[in-house]
Structure 1
Amino acid sequence: MAAMSSPIIGLLLLLLPIAPSSAIKFPLGGNVYPVSHFYATLSIGEPAKPYFLDVDTGSNLTWLECHHPVHGCKGCHPRPPHPYYKPAADKLKVQCGGPLCAAMRRDVPGIPDCSRKDPHRCHYEIQYVTGKSEGDLATDIISVTGKDKKNIAFGCGYNQEEAADAPPSSVDGILGLGRGKAGFAAQLKGLKMITENVIVHCLSSKGKGVLYVGDFNPPSRGVTWAPMRESLFYYSPGLAELFIDKQPIRGNPTFEAVFDSGTTYTLVPAQIYNELVSKVRGTLSESSLVEVKGRALPLCWKGKKPFRSVNDVKNQFKALSLKITHAHGTSYLDIPPQNYLIVKTRKRAWLSSTPRRILL
């Protein structure tokens, strides 16, 4: 889910649509603000029931909020988008010493040892920056259009903990798209539902988007390529540097870049963030925009007139870029203003509902 770092910059990347060849396509719901994540709909069980799962490349294990036959669903959200997944007892009989549980143990560090009293139970506990999920591994049918029904393994999460001020959840769980053997894509490849362990997350400037899992035909333009380091469970191309208006941040510090779709905003070390904020404010010194206090993000500006879209203000900001150094050379990921600015609709009793503010 959340990567551990410091303050917020904004969005990271907007890809062009990609034409799949043999991939499974999952339309996405959600947006950066105010939903704060993107989710795919998976149909699980027989009869199949829909569940919204947060698309998370930073997690290896897929899990649903689950009404466990023994433990119930303590700590679950009181108003999930769909009724809790409620498995029969036989769906939870996963051998703790078997290959499925072993794969999860390799992918998710810190899982308790197997219990001799209950060898048919594969228990897990996952710690996130803002909370945790605890449950047992389950297996059940996944229904995908145009594909045979197959059993996949995922977590029956019966105990979730999160920050006390967390908003109501708009998802039923997590879709684990990490690089581990227990990850969603790796399981689909093992079941021969896809030919390649590849994921493609396409974002739209209007929210939503699409997720492809499997082989695909990449677009011929508009894409920055950077190889991922093979030795890691998460997606990292290695060291990166942040630029604004083609100029490096003072001191030109480097940091390890991690692509984590479960973290809505881009997080950077405090030194880089503070210098970036200083430069952004400098570019707006003669602008008509007025900095105001925002609730959602640290930086917020208000204009003299309502903003219809981010296009009304993008020319007053400078482009960011990420310089990525890897084994094959250097790649530059361009981040134009429309990819890191958010237009917020502010509603007040004495005002009509008009977009008035932008958030960084």
Structure 2
Amino acid sequence: MKKVWIYLENGTFLEANSFGADNTVVGEIVFNTSLSGYQEIMSDPSYAGQFVTFTMPEIGNVGTNEQDMESAGAHAKGMIVRKYQPRYSNFRAEESLDSFLVKHNVMGICNIDTRYLTKMLRAEGSMMMIASSEISDKDELKKILESSPRIEDINYIEQVSTKKVYKHTSGTYSSTEFKYNEAPQTEVKIAVIDFGVKRNILNELVGAGIGVEVIPNDFIAEDLIQAYKEKSIDGVFLSNGPGDPLVLKKEQEQIKKLITAKIPMFGICLGHQLLSISHGYDTFKLKFGHHGGNHPVKNEKSGFIEITAQNHNYNVPDNIVEIADITHTNLFDNTIEGLKYKDSPIFSVQHHPEASPGPKESAYIFSEFVTLMKENR
């Protein structure tokens, strides 16, 4: 393995080994506590612009395969692992993680103390970093990092959103038969606004009986309002995605028009945040974010505790209770995880009910969207 040199904006300088693509890359470093699903994480568009530090020490054991892709490519800047395992063993595997990263031009970093990095991020918060398999000089790396834009200055949505409209027809994935289930009969139809949507979100929407058409982030609200009036759609879904939601000014203006038109809407993660901003309540950045598959969330209506998959650095403010009821609460830090707006057929969640990876205890939320749209026909 080649050597790789890492410089973090707090002045930490480290040396490790690299696998995957050779490169010099700048991004934000975060940590993820999921025990499995490294391919789904790396192919999740929400991780665009970030280095993902895995707390699970052994990575690469099961290789990679096309079925586990959450999008068409790998979007994270890089992955940081304690030990990379080049010899994979799984009957579904098609190639190694190393070759997967090379194919998608993503850097892998290994033979590094990920516990040390995680504790640092927990104490100091997420930060920018640079990693290079080409440059070993600390001062040069520091200079490049300081002259590079920060993640909150970049509109990654323009990179990850679809460029053309398409229909998604695959249903949910069967873990017992290892294939996609046949889609049920369509009960309602929606437009999915793609800010970096995961494949399994689309699968879950179809699996709930929803006809899905995916549209780019540069959508025109008036077109959707007209489609809703003509009953060619029953609602709008706002997807997950990467980066700071406050950057997305054009999208916010269009969402405000959809809110005024009282179209039934459902948002996940970035979509949840954009709904808050579009209602006049700006988001804030968490210290180190929520990334993993083991976050307990309380359903405020049922009182049940759901273990959820999470991936976000930003959160909605507490004073949004002026216009919305809290439906879900994060039990790690009591931040808001779900909202139902009081005067509109709109709701949203911060966590990922589709999982991939992670538990699926919140998957019922997709059926709630169907119910909402039927009630507002």
Fold match by TM threshold 0.5: no
Q: Which has the higher contact order (CA 8 A, sep 6+)?
A: 1
Q: Return the structure number with greater helix share.
A: 2
TM (normalized to structure 1)? 0.26
TM-score, structure 2 normalization: 0.25
Task: Kindly name which structure, 1 or 2, has the bigger radius of gyration based on alpha carbons.
Answer: 1
